[in-house]
Amino acid sequence: MGAVVTTAVLVEQVLEGKREAIAKAITLVENRGRGFENLLAALERKGGNAFVLGVTGPPGTGKSTLVDRLIERFRKRGLKVAVVAVDPTSPITGGALLGDRVRMLKHATDRGVYIRSMASRGWRGGLAGSTSEVVQILDAAGTELVIIETVGIGQSDIEIVSVAHAVLVTVTPGLGDDIQVSKAGLLEIGDIFVVNKSDLEGADFMLTALLSMVREQKRQRPVIKVSALKDEGIDKLVEAVDGFRQTLTTPRGREIKLKSLRGMIVEMAKNEVMEGLNEKLVGNLPDRLAREVYDGRLDLREAARRLSRR
């Protein structure tokens, strides 16, 4: 009973777009706290105006700096913006986090901007919520632009951006040019490519390389050279983002929305399975299976199958 009442109040405040309520709702969902399912159910179909932009690319390519520029631009036009920075759990890239927060801190007093960090994967304590659910909350809160920043190094990170309506991929000059892009499937998932750090040497070379890689594929997409640091080329990028944003309201928008919904459903389903593995539900099954595999009575794959079936 208590939980239901609390949820109703929270729902109301989220729908009003209150930042504190948004934060509370996301935390509730992340922690799988009491009433989180009611909350999500109540927020279902309450949004529909959010354009979700995924921003991915190798660490250090300037994603956060660029996101900061995008916040600036879209805020100037009065759009309500939210950023979900998906923290890599990897210690290699973890150092970039503090920088992100410090950089975006200048928006901290802007009521029209909501910035949230999420851990990408956590084993104990369950998943740190799913991106889809966070997007659902932000959308219901009236956010018009949701930016999901994630490090494009692994498959799992790339999956996170599959919930986006459009994906922006960042690269920089140097760093083994063609490799950065083709590696983690970035060439396939990108809708807009950004060669950042154009103030550095080799940017034109990277631009040419990227253009020819995109040309080799069936799908033509914009490749834009910018310097997030020097604030150069950003307007052209904003134009490209706007192009996608506007498409959402055209007949072709249905296709884009379907693709995003598909990404959300797959992500949520995966999380369900992961949660199932976390719960007391599985009990000592993993230990029992390990012993069976150790004794040669079961092969690994079958053991995994049995666990996932549970």
Ligand X SMILES: Nc1nc2c(ncn2[C@@H]2O[C@H](COP(=O)(O)OP(=O)(O)O)[C@@H](O)[C@H]2O)c(=O)[nH]1
**Helix intervals (H) in 52-143:** 63-76, 96-104, 131-140
Q: Of 46-54, 96-104, 106-114, 220-228, which part binds Mg ion (CB under 5 A)?
A: 96-104
Burial (CB count <10 Å: 0-12, 13-18, 19+), residue 191? buried
Contact between 63 and Mg ion per CB under 5 A: yes
Q: Residues 68, 228: contact at Cβ < 8 Å?
A: yes
Give the C-alpha separation, 212 to 205, whole Å. Answer: 11
Contact between 100 and Mg ion per CB under 5 A: yes
Give the C-alpha separation, 240 to 227, whole Å. Answer: 16
Which is closer to ligand X, CB of 137 or CB of 166? Answer: 166
Contact between 165 and Mg ion per CB under 5 A: no
Rounded least distance, CB 64 to Mg ion, Å: 3
Contact between 197 and Mg ion per CB under 5 A: no
253-278 and 300-309 helices cross at what angle (nearest 10)?
100
Rounded least distance, CB 227 to Mg ion, Å: 16
Contact between 180 and ligand X per CB under 6 A: no
Among 4, 92, 102, 200, binds ligand X (CB under 6 A): 200
Give the C-alpha separation, 205 to 213, whole Å. Answer: 12
Contact between 157 and Mg ion per CB under 5 A: no
Which is closer to Mg ion, CB of 55 or CB of 303? Answer: 55
Contact between 229 and ligand X per CB under 6 A: yes
Among 188, 199, 279, 299, binds ligand X (CB under 6 A): 199
Contact between 197 and ligand X per CB under 6 A: yes
Assigned token pair, 183: 């590696």
Contact between 174 and ligand X per CB under 6 A: no
Which is closer to Mg ion, CB of 67 or CB of 134? Answer: 67
Which is closer to Mg ion, CB of 100 or CB of 157? Answer: 100
Give the C-alpha separation, 187 to 203, whole Å. Answer: 18
Look at the alpha carbons of 13, 17, 22, 24 in this order and tell me if their dihedral is positive or negative: negative
Contact between 119 and ligand X per CB under 6 A: no
Among 7, 61, 64, 170, binds Mg ion (CB under 5 A): 64
Contact between 64 and ligand X per CB under 6 A: yes
Cβ neighbours of 197 (radius 10 Å)? 25
Give the C-alpha separation, 191 to 193, whole Å. Answer: 7
How many residues form the binding site for Mg ion (CB under 5 A)?
Answer: 4
Number of H helices, E strands in the chain: 14, 7
**Which residue lies nearest ligand X, judged by its C-beta?**
62
**Helix intervals (H) in 93-202:** 96-104, 131-140, 155-160, 177-183, 186-189
Rounded least distance, CB 102 to Mg ion, Å: 11
Which is closer to ligand X, CB of 40 or CB of 81? Answer: 81
What residues make contact with ligand X under the rule CB under 6 A?
59-65, 96, 99, 196-197, 199-200, 227-229
Contacting residues toward Mg ion, per CB under 5 A: 63-64, 96, 100
